[in-house]
């Protein structure tokens, strides 16, 4: 990684870490990024995508969880920034700006677009004898690394790499989430194996839907507005 590539990676990583509520200090003399939580050192980020830390800096559960998230963010950011540096330019009729072709399968493309706000990801379909692009789905950059994860998932489904029947949509995932949390809090006994399985399902859904909390709040507000006490529609 040359100096320019390192600078672009650190800029993108800094944005993504700040999205997670972490503080990123200027590059140190050793060429590392100092990452802080609540004004205290959490870890150091290397230009390789690795994280260096001290055990005492992740002593409690909150700091340990923040370190795990910082490690994931650094790994994901390094993954797509390496691809961006190596990817060819995407050219198509009517397409202007800097778009890099990250993946292509079955007339579907996944592209990355550098902007002053971070990398934006887009999926398109080729049309007009592979000369023009149609129906773009845009992701980020305001969502941090979740944008890249969502774009990859959309590309996999849209291109047919993963059958749509094997994927749950957002509404289905939220219902599964409800069922899992209710089962864990329910009166009926479950085995330790079942409990661990349900907890892993909940964690996976929370990662798959970054704004899950917001959606659940909206769902509760809608239910409250439709309740009979609040004058909602009633049927007999």
pLDDT of 6-38, one tens digit each?
Answer: 999 999 999 999 999 999 998 888 999 999 999
Mention every residue, 6+ apart, whose C-beta is less than 8 A from residue 25: 33, 34, 35, 36
Question: Of residues 48 and 200, which shows the higher confidence score?
Answer: 48
State pTM to two decimals.
0.72
Report pLDDT for 192: 85
Specify whether 187 is located in the same domain as 159: no
The range of the structural domain enclosing residue 182 comes to 170-224
| Residue 144 is assigned to a structural domain of this protein | yes
Phi, psi dihedrals of residue 204, rounded to the nearest 5°: -65, -40
Boundary residue ending a domain (166, 189, 209): 166
Q: Name the domain count of the chain.
A: 3
DSSP 171-220: HHHHHHHHHHHHHHHSSS---HHHHHHHHHHHHHHHHH-TTHHHHHHHHH
| Residue 38 is assigned to a structural domain of this protein | yes
What percent of the chain shows pLDDT beyond 70? 90
């Amino acid at each position: 990684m040359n100096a320019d590539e390192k600078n672009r990676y650190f800029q993108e990583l800094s944005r993504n870490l700040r999205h997670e509520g972490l503080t990123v200090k200027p590059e140190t003399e050793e060429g590392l990024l100092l990452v802080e939580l609540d004004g205290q050192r959490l870890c150091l980020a290397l230009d390789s995508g690795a994280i260096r830390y001290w055990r005492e800096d992740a002593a409690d559960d909150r700091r340990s969880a923040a370190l795990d998230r910082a490690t994931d963010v650094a790994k994901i950011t390094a993954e797509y920034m390496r691809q961006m540096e190596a990817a060819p330019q995407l050219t198509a009729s009517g397409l202007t700006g800097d778009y890099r072709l990250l993946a292509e399968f079955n007339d579907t493309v996944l592209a990355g677009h550098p902007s002053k706000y971070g990398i934006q990801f887009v999926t398109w379909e080729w049309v007009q004898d592979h000369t023009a692009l149609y129906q773009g789905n845009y992701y980020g950059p305001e969502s941090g690394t979740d944008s890249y994860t969502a774009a990859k998932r959309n590309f996999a489904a849209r291109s047919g790499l993963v059958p749509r029947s094997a994927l749950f949509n957002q509404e289905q995932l939220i219902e599964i989430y409800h069922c899992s949390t209710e089962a864990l809090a329910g009166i009926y006994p479950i085995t330790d194996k079942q409990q661990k399985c349900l907890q892993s399902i909940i964690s996976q859904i929370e990662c798959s839907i970054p704004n899950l909390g917001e959606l659940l709040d909206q769902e509760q507000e809608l239910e409250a507005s439709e309740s009979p006490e609040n004058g909602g529609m009633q049927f007999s």
